[in-house]
Amino acid sequence: MNDRAGPKRPGAQNARDGDTELRILDAARRVFIRRGTAGARMQEIAAEAGVNQALLHYYFRSKDRLAATVFAEAAFRVVPAIADLLGSSATIEEKVERFVHLYIDAVRQSPFLPGYLVAELHQQPKRLTAMLEAAGPGARAAVGTIRRKLGRQLRDAAAAGTIRPIAPEQFFVNMIALCVIPFLARPLLGALLGMDARAFDDFLDQRRAELPGFIIRGLRS
């Protein structure tokens, strides 16, 4: 059975259906970020999307199904590109620089996205597992392959004396933490430093330029 509550119709109606579905997803994303999934109400999402609740249930049946769809859409903005990069043959230095640029460039368009993803994973820790399962049996195998390949690359670089020994988990967490913290701390930066939207954007430009070198120097020390 299709995840939706009813079949799509062919032709121009499909295009209109697609537009409605995207409008609902955009509205749900805004409401979930504003309220959190637990505090969001289907009525508010419907009003935000400009549709009635019956149409909302036609497309997504329940708030949980809608939340899972929004979470997957948000995660897939960056996850596949990061996986491709970490599993590539690029050098460690190239991976650091590309990772920082990729993450900041992707997330700066939706700066409150990391906070939403973190909150979702705290409330629904199985959300990411379900997403991997939905992606098919090859998804978990791919994660394992990337981890092993990155681990070998880090060990080889350490053996060659170009970096200090570091586990792939520590390498990844160090990079993502340094990238994500400014987005999670954006309200704090605004309150303490008077950083408005333009100043925050300038700050991200500076961080995009300076952070790769900072991480690479840390790997070599």
> What is the domain partition of the chain in residue ranges?
12-71, 76-220
Architecture of domain 76-220: Orthogonal Bundle (1.10)
Token pair of 204 as six digits = 């991200």
pTM for this one? 0.76
Of 217, 219, 185, nearest to 204 (Cα)? 185
Nearest to 123 by CA among 174, 183, 67: 67
Cα–Cα distances (Å) from 198 to 100, 103, 201, 205, in that order, read 20, 19, 5, 11
Question: Residue 133: its pLDDT value, please?
Answer: 66
The CATH homologous superfamily for domain 12-71 is Homeodomain-like (1.10.10.60)
Interatomic CA distance for residues 161 and 176, integer angstroms:
24
Q: Are 200 and 186 in contact (CB under 8 A)?
A: yes
Chain center to CA of 151? 23
Q: Along the 221 residues of the chain, how does pLDDT read in single tens digits?
A: 344 444 343 333 444 466 888 899 999 988 988 887 888 899 999 999 999 999 988 999 888 888 888 877 777 778 888 989 999 999 999 999 999 999 999 888 877 778 777 877 777 777 677 666 666 667 777 888 999 999 999 999 999 999 999 999 999 999 999 999 998 888 888 899 989 989 999 999 999 999 999 999 999 97
